[in-house]
Amino acid sequence: MFKSFLIAGAMTICQAAIVQSIMAQDTPPAAAEAKSDGELIGYFLGFSVGQNMGQSGFKATDITMEAFLKGFQEGVALKEPAMTNEQFAAAQGKIQAMLTKRQAEMSAAQKAKGTKFLADNAKKEGVKTLEGGVQYKVLKAGNGATPKPTDTVSVHYTGKLIDGTVFDSSVQRGQPASFQVNQVIQGWQMALQKMKVGDKWMLYIPSDLAYGERGSAGAIGPNEVLVFEVELLGVQ
């Protein structure tokens, strides 16, 4: 049972990593030039799986490379594993415990970082706080209608992490976003129902009013405070 589970899991990791790497890289790395097909494929798969493991919380020091390569070679050769079912179960338990602990530590550190950011940000000129905890700063005032929860709105926005990393932007895509107010994260719902058409605000959204401890799609980690520049273009 554990053998089948391991093979299926490894295939899923490889496939996910390969797709992710293809999407993340527009051109192959310069180091891959003038190599044989075997070297190209080997490096690509190795880098992809390693990158996926790193993003999942693994460190290079967590594994013995000789054992990793031995397991890889025997797996590719479809040999019987040199581990018992009990050893497979023990390894999986250790991996889960290790990654769970690291996730909790990262989540706690990010929460503390976000709390400090919001406390400092609240003291800045022009920054106000809505009931519920969303902070905002008016960049441009409009005089149009204010949307209700069930209204569909058209907005332009740019979303960033507190370190300035852009994770999404309708402005960069050149296409406004349209959605129903009550179908987005709570922080947006709270702000949009206070905005008027023509308003442009900076929003500073606490993690519990955004994507919380789970984060979202790899770009947003656990307990991330999010910063948005939002312009309300229209209400349908």
Do 125 and 46 sit in the same domain of this protein?
no
The structural domain count of the chain equals: 2
Q: Worst-scoring range by mean pLDDT, 9-18, 148-157, 199-208?
A: 9-18
Amino acid symbol at 39: E
Domain assignment of residue 199, yes or no: yes
Same domain, 33 and 125: no
d(CA 235, CA 181): 10
CATH code of the domain covering residue 147 = 3.10.50.40
pLDDT interval class at 33 (50, 70, 90):
low
Mean pLDDT rounded to a whole number for the chain:
87
Neighbours of 7 (CB within 10 A): 13
Average pLDDT estimate for 85-113: 93
Range of the domain at 198: 113-235
* Residue 211 scores a pLDDT above 80: yes
The answer to whether position 179 is within a domain reads yes
pLDDT at position 55 = 77
| Cα–Cα distance, 139 to 95 (Å, whole number) | 47
Q: 231 has which bridge partners?
A: 156, 200
pTM confidence score: 0.69
* Long-range contacts (CB closer than 8 Å, 24 or more residues apart) made by 126-133: 127/204, 130/190, 130/191, 130/194, 131/190, 132/186, 132/190, 132/209, 133/206, 133/208, 133/209
The amino acid at 138: V
Same domain, residue pair 150 and 194:
yes
pLDDT value at residue 57: 83
CA 81 remoteness from chain centre = 34
Lowest mean pLDDT among 22-31, 54-63, 71-80, 173-182: 22-31
Co-location of 137 and 61 in the same domain:
no
Are 65 and 160 members of one domain?
Answer: no
Q: Mean pLDDT check: name the lowest of 50-59, 95-104, 106-115, 196-205.
A: 50-59
Can you tell me the mean pLDDT for 7-32?
A: 45
Its sign, for the CA torsion 130, 135, 140, 146, is negative
Q: How confident is the model at residue 34 (pLDDT cuts 50, 70, 90)?
A: low
Q: Is residue 119 part of a domain?
A: yes
Q: 220-235: per-residue pLDDT in tens?
A: 989 999 999 999 999 9
In this structure, of 20-34, 165-179, 219-233, the range with the lowest mean pLDDT score is 20-34
3-state SS, residue 89 = helix
Query: Is pLDDT at 111 greater than 50 in this prediction?
Result: yes
Residues tagged active-site: 157, 167-168, 185, 211, 228
23 and 70 belong to one structural domain? yes
My answer on whether 127 and 17 are in the same domain is no
Q: Looking at 82, 97, 127, which one is the last position of a domain?
A: 82
Query: If you average pLDDT over residues 77-101, what whole number do you get?
Result: 94
